[in-house]
Amino acid sequence: MSARTYSLFDRLVMNFDQAVRTLAGRPLVTGRPNPADDREEAELSEAEKRESMRLMRVNHAGEVAAQALYQGQALTARLPVVRGRMERAAEEENDHLDWCEKRVNELGGHVSYLNPAWYFGSFAIGAAAGAIGDKWSLGFVAETEKQVIEHLDGHLRRIAPQDGKSRAIVEQMKVDEAHHGAEARRAGGVDLPQPVKQLMKLTSRIMTGAAYRV
């Protein structure tokens, strides 16, 4: 059986389908078990519950953005192997998306109202990175994952110690993000210029600040 090559139009249609799935909360997941499932729901104060909910909402918004970045990059990546890797990583991000949304709901919250904006903004950034060149877009993935891990570490310091369900999800996400970053570097991702890294940090600060609130 020969591998099918898709036209740019085919890929745009598939991307639109992915966008709808991501934003409507029905993404294609890998089917791995939710790491929170075998943890007991803990006794949390109202303040602890609210803080966990807000942080998990930030994580969910970050996963919406990650999903869009991968889809955007996959659209413009030149090498099929790079495109294939991006699509696989995007599917794993969908697990995170799914687990975070479930946890936000369990904690009595809602996902960020700004998710469509995160999706389309990140999609454009991803497509631009992919168009510049594979080694840069892979470098962009590696740097993104590094910054995400720093964020997740910050969240682990803020989530109540007894909130094992939220913590289990964040811990598994850290493992996966480290893997995605290492893969991107192995595939040829280069170290990004410092100003680009700073700009990425600034963008994520704006995004996480807004998703924390709404």
> Nearer to Fe ion by C-beta: 41 or 179?
179
Shortest distance, position 145 Cβ to Fe ion, whole Å: 5
> Nearer to Fe ion by C-beta: 96 or 102?
96
d(CA 27, CA 70): 14
d(CA 61, CA 25): 12
> Nearer to Fe ion by C-beta: 101 or 177?
177
Shortest distance, position 97 Cβ to Fe ion, whole Å: 8
> Nearer to Fe ion by C-beta: 50 or 91?
91
Shortest distance, position 93 Cβ to Fe ion, whole Å: 4
Shortest distance, position 79 Cβ to Fe ion, whole Å: 20
Shortest distance, position 140 Cβ to Fe ion, whole Å: 12
> Nearer to Fe ion by C-beta: 44 or 192?
192
| Residue owning tokens 């999609």 | 123
CB atoms within 10 A of CB 43: 10
Shortest distance, position 180 Cβ to Fe ion, whole Å: 4
> Nearer to Fe ion by C-beta: 44 or 148?
148
Judged by the rule CB under 5 A, the positions of this chain that interact with Fe ion are 93, 96, 177, 180
| Residue owning tokens 């007991």 | 40
CA dihedral 50, 54, 56, 59 (to 10 degrees): -170
Q: At CB < 8 A and 24+ separation, what contacts does 173-180 make? A: 173/59, 173/96, 173/99, 173/148, 174/149, 176/92, 176/95, 176/96, 177/145, 177/148, 177/149, 177/152, 178/145, 178/149, 180/89, 180/92, 180/141, 180/145
d(CA 211, CA 71): 21
